[in-house]
């Protein structure tokens, strides 16, 4: 599968299907204004790799989102979305996890605000490991244990759980959009689980 990078959360207000989410605030920044800003400014994003842990805190599996693009392609991605004006990183992280994994995921947000890595997405592939054809985005990426049930609210979305070995594989790497296979490997390195 080709690695392509439509934004899985185009504007932070609209879901994968373009329908406004219940908590959207359309008056705050219209789609046109946002599209304009995207061509002029780097956009601040948060991303989360959901994980399951055992009793000792060791990660046993990583969650990857499966979704179909508007063009009907199937790609894999992580929890991802824009930070709004006036919103803290922690709040943005919580909001996007709930959006993508549902209200019963019960995430344990990390006590430290420091991301495990900063991913730079450029519109032109090759500048960095990450690309996004719609914008220049800079993402603060976190590993987030979830203790509940993940029920993606978007129809097109599913969560697949991989062992660390599977998540690091070339097969999964190739299916992740926008270079996020590298983000998964960065997460595994951070967890001491990369081989």
Q: Position of tokens 């601040």?
A: 44
Taking the complex as a whole, the smallest distance from the CB of residue 85 to its own copies amounts, in Å, to 5
φ, ψ of residue 152 to 5 degrees: the values are -50, 135
Q: Strand 43-53 relative to strand 74-77: parallel, antiparallel, unpaired?
A: unpaired
x/- string (CB under 8 A) for its own copies, residues 83-102? xxxxxxxxx--x--------
Cα distance between residue 74 and residue 83, in whole Å: 26
Count of residues engaged in binding its own copies, rule: CB under 8 A:
57
Element containing residue 33 per DSSP (H, E) = helix 31-38
Taking the complex as a whole, the smallest distance from the CB of residue 172 to its own copies amounts, in Å, to 14
x/- string (CB under 8 A) for its own copies, residues 29-58? x---x---x-xxxxxx------x-x--xxx
Which of 19, 74, 104, 108 binds its own copies (CB under 8 A)? It is: 108
22 makes contact with its own copies (CB under 8 A): no
66 versus 129: smaller Cβ distance to its own copies: 129
Cα distance between residue 138 and residue 135, in whole Å: 10
Taking the complex as a whole, the smallest distance from the CB of residue 155 to its own copies amounts, in Å, to 28
x/- string (CB under 8 A) for its own copies, residues 114-153? xxxxx-x-xx---xxx------x-x-x--x-x--------
87 versus 133: smaller Cβ distance to its own copies: 87
Q: Position of tokens 């959006």?
A: 99
Taking the complex as a whole, the smallest distance from the CB of residue 8 to its own copies amounts, in Å, to 19
23 C-beta neighbours (distance < 10 Å), count? 10
Site for its own copies, rule CB under 8 A: 28-29, 33, 37, 39-44, 51, 53, 56-59, 83-91, 94, 108-118, 120, 122-123, 127-129, 136, 138, 140, 143, 145, 182, 185-186, 189-192, 194-195
């Amino acid at each position: 599968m080709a690695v392509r990078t439509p934004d899985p959360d185009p504007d932070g207000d609209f879901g994968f299907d373009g329908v406004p989410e219940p908590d959207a605030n359309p008056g705050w920044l219209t789609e046109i204004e946002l599209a304009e800003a995207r061509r002029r400014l780097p956009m601040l994003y948060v991303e989360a790799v959901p994980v399951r842990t055992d009793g000792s805190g060791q990660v046993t599996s990583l969650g990857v989102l499966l979704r179909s693009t508007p063009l009907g392609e199937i790609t894999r991605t992580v929890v991802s979305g824009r930070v709004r004006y006036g919103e803290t990183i922690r709040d943005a992280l919580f909001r996007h996890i709930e959006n993508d994994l549902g209200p019963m995921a019960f995430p344990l947000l990390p006590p430290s605000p420091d991301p495990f890595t900063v991913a730079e997405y450029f519109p032109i592939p090759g500048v960095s490991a990450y690309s996004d054809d719609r914008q220049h985005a800079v993402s603060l990426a976190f590993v987030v244990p979830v203790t509940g049930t993940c029920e993606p609210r978007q129809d097109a979305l599913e969560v697949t759980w991989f062992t660390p070995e599977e998540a690091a594989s070339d097969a999964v790497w190739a299916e992740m959009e926008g270079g996020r296979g590298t983000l998964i490997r960065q997460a595994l390195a951070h967890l001491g689980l990369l081989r």
